[in-house]
Amino acid sequence: MKLLFIGNCIFRNDTDHRVCNPFKTLKKALKKADVVVLTLQGNITKRRIPSNQSSVGEQLLALKRIIPRTPIIIDFKNTDLLTLNPNGKKDTSRFLTNHGFIYTYQVIRPLLYGTLCFFSCMDEDLVTSRMVQAVVPINLRKINTMTAAYLTYIKSFKCILRTIVVNLRIKPYAGVMLPVEALTFSKLLIDYGVDIVQIQANNSKPVNSCRSYKNGVIICGLGDLVNCGKPRRRYAPVTSELCLINTISKNYINYLVQKHTINECIIPKSLRPLRRYSRRETFHEDAF
């Protein structure tokens, strides 16, 4: 199975700042995937809320039209959804259900889809009292009782032919160096049987995105693929990355996404393979 991780997406409803199909330049990579994994920041809702990170979901529907037969997993548990809109979780869940996206609203239990087992957790520094009942808070610096129990719980799902994926949200950090504690905890997750760890923060720049560790892959931050949530004067076009991973061989390809600004939205402009990694000596994209 080939999983395509496309990073963080922030949409907004405002007509003056809306781009309906930000994914059209990514068709080549999208069509190579058996499953696409997208991290959503914000809300999918028709309610008027005091946030510039909400959308009615037309961008996700555009993605669905590009790959109508490819399952799309949405991890939508984020700080804005759980704090700015009391109905955000319900509204977003309803939209995703109605349009055939794959997600889970369970707090501890993972999403089980075929041979995939998908966990979502968050750095406890991001978790407020209003979010405790919706996400799993993780202490990245010290393995406390709750974190140790969660690691054991994740390990209990390991079995033959199952691929365990953990999406770990951490707080924004300065510079391009990933916090040591996030990388250390990701390695610990792989020691407990996880196959792929995606570290995600609300950062604009990718962080040397993929690296192998033992029999797993750590995605160290793909950057914001789409960002319509910040004013243009404060946010310049940057690059981001995609990561296509073969869950059996653990081979992967990184794609570099060049971005530009349209209607004050930062969206993909072009796509090219950036780096290939194989546990064997020869590895070609066409044979992936």
Judged against a pLDDT cut of 50, whether residue 257 lies above it is answered with yes
Between 24-33, 68-77, 104-113, 161-170, the lowest mean confidence (pLDDT) is in: 104-113
Judged against a pLDDT cut of 60, whether residue 237 lies above it is answered with no
Residue 103 and residue 74 in contact, taking contact as beta carbons nearer than 8 Å: yes
Phi, psi of 160 (to 5 degrees): -60, 135
Between CA 190 and CA 211 the distance in angstroms is: 12
Higher pLDDT pick, 233 / 175: 175
Query: For 12-63, what is each residue's pLDDT tens digit?
Result: 765 445 577 889 999 999 999 999 999 888 788 887 765 566 788 889 999 9
**Residues facing residue 266 across a β-bridge:** 227, 261
Residue 204 and residue 224 in contact, taking contact as beta carbons nearer than 8 Å: yes
> Average pLDDT in the 7-16 region?
71
Its CATH class, for the domain covering 2-287, is alpha beta
As a whole-number percent, the residues of the chain with pLDDT over 90 amount to 39
Read off the DSSP letter of residue 96. Answer: H
Q: Residue 82: what pLDDT? A: 59
pTM: 0.88
Residue length, the chain? 288
Sign of CA dihedral 173, 174, 176, 181: negative
